Amino acid sequence: MPAGFRKISHPAGTEARTLFQTICAVLFWIITQTAYAFDQLGLNLDRIEYDSLSADNVSVALIFGHGESATLRISATRLSLSPSLVFEQLEINCKEGSLTAAMLRCSEGIYYAQHQDHGEINGRLSLSYRLDGSAGEIVLDSIAAGDGTIAGNLTFNAGGWEAGIQGNKLALTWLRKIVEPFGVWPPDYSDERGSVDVDARIQGRHADVHHVQGIIRTHAISFYGVNAAENLSSEVSFDVNALEGWDIKAGGNLGNGALYVEPGISMGNVRPGIALEITDQPLRFAVDMHLDRSLQQVNLHRLDISHPGVMTARVQVEAELGEEININRADIALTATDAGKFYTTWLQPFLLDTQFNALEIAGALETKVRITANELRHLDLHFDDLHAYDGNGRFHIAGLDGAFRVTDEAIPIQSGMSWRGAGIYRIDIGAGKLALESRDQTVNIISWEDVPVLDGMLQIDAFNIINVGRNDMTIRIDGSLTPISMTDFTQAMDWPIMSGQLTGAINGLTYSQGNLVVDGQINLGLFDGNVVVRNLRIEDLFGLAPALYADIDIDKLDLELLTGHFSFGKIQGLISGGVNKLELKAWQPVYFEAALATPEDDQTRHRISQQAVDNLGYIGGGAVSALSSGFLRIFKEYSYGRLGISCRLYNGSCEMGGVGDTPEGFIIVSRGGLLPPWIEVKGTGHSITWVALVEGLKTISSNRPEFK
The structural domains of the chain, with segments of one domain joined by +, span 1-134, 606-708
**How confident is the model at residue 704, as a pLDDT?**
41
Measured distance CA(576)–CA(588) in Å, rounded: 24
C-alpha closest to that of 156 among 125, 186, 130: 130
pLDDT at 598 over 50: yes
**How confident is the model at residue 632, as a pLDDT?**
53
Give 702's pLDDT tier (boundaries 50, 70, 90).
low
Spatial strand order in the sheet of 660-661 = 660-661, 665-669, 681-684
129 and 99 Cβ atoms separated by less than 8 Å:
no
Q: Of 179-183, 468-472, 605-609, 619-623, which one has max mean pLDDT?
A: 605-609
**How confident is the model at residue 701, as a pLDDT?**
58
CA 583 → CA 559, 590, 622, 650, distances in Å? Answer: 25, 6, 28, 10
Measured distance CA(264)–CA(385) in Å, rounded: 35
pLDDT at 305 over 90: yes
Helix or strand (DSSP H, E) at 342 = helix 339-342
User: Tens digit of pLDDT for each residue in 630-659?
Assistant: 445 566 788 999 999 999 999 999 998 999
**How confident is the model at residue 538, as a pLDDT?**
93
CA 320 → CA 299, 301, 495, distances in Å? Answer: 9, 14, 53
Of 85 and 193, the one with more pLDDT: 193
Q: What is the mean pLDDT of residues 363-383?
A: 93
Give 365's pLDDT tier (boundaries 50, 70, 90).
very high
pLDDT at 351 over 70: yes
**How confident is the model at residue 221, as a pLDDT?**
94
Measured distance CA(125)–CA(154) in Å, rounded: 11
**How confident is the model at residue 21, as a pLDDT?**
55
Q: What is the mean pLDDT of residues 20-38?
A: 52
pLDDT at 207 over 90: no
**How confident is the model at residue 252, as a pLDDT?**
95
Of 393 and 265, the one with more pLDDT: 393
Q: What is the mean pLDDT of residues 70-74?
A: 84
Of 404 and 98, the one with more pLDDT: 404
User: Tens digit of pLDDT for each residue in 515-572?
Assistant: 999 887 877 777 888 889 999 999 988 777 889 999 999 999 999 888 875 667 889 9
**How confident is the model at residue 490, as a pLDDT?**
79
In sequence order, the 6+-apart residues with CB closer than 8 A to the CB of 681 are 613, 616, 617, 620, 624, 625, 628, 667, 668, 669
Measured distance CA(549)–CA(603) in Å, rounded: 34
* 467: phi then psi, degrees, rounded to nearest 5: 55, 55
Q: What is the mean pLDDT of residues 289-311?
A: 90
pLDDT at 414 over 70: yes
Measured distance CA(411)–CA(405) in Å, rounded: 13
* 626: phi then psi, degrees, rounded to nearest 5: -65, -20
Question: Helix, strand, or coil here: 400?
Answer: strand
**How confident is the model at residue 547, as a pLDDT?**
94
Give 117's pLDDT tier (boundaries 50, 70, 90).
confident
State the average pLDDT for the chain: 84
Helix or strand (DSSP H, E) at 485 = strand 474-485
Q: Of 126-135, 236-245, 311-320, 475-484, which one has max mean pLDDT?
A: 311-320
Rounded to two decimals, the pTM is 0.73
Q: What percent of the chain shows pLDDT beyond 70?
A: 87
Q: What percent of the chain shows pLDDT beyond 90?
A: 40
CA 65 → CA 25, 71, 166, 453, 631, distances in Å? Answer: 21, 7, 35, 103, 140
Its sign, for the CA torsion 513, 515, 520, 525, is positive
User: Tens digit of pLDDT for each residue in 584-596?
Assistant: 998 899 999 999 9
pLDDT at 707 over 50: no
Give 204's pLDDT tier (boundaries 50, 70, 90).
confident
**Displacement of CA 483 from its chain's centroid (Å):** 42
Measured distance CA(524)–CA(437) in Å, rounded: 31
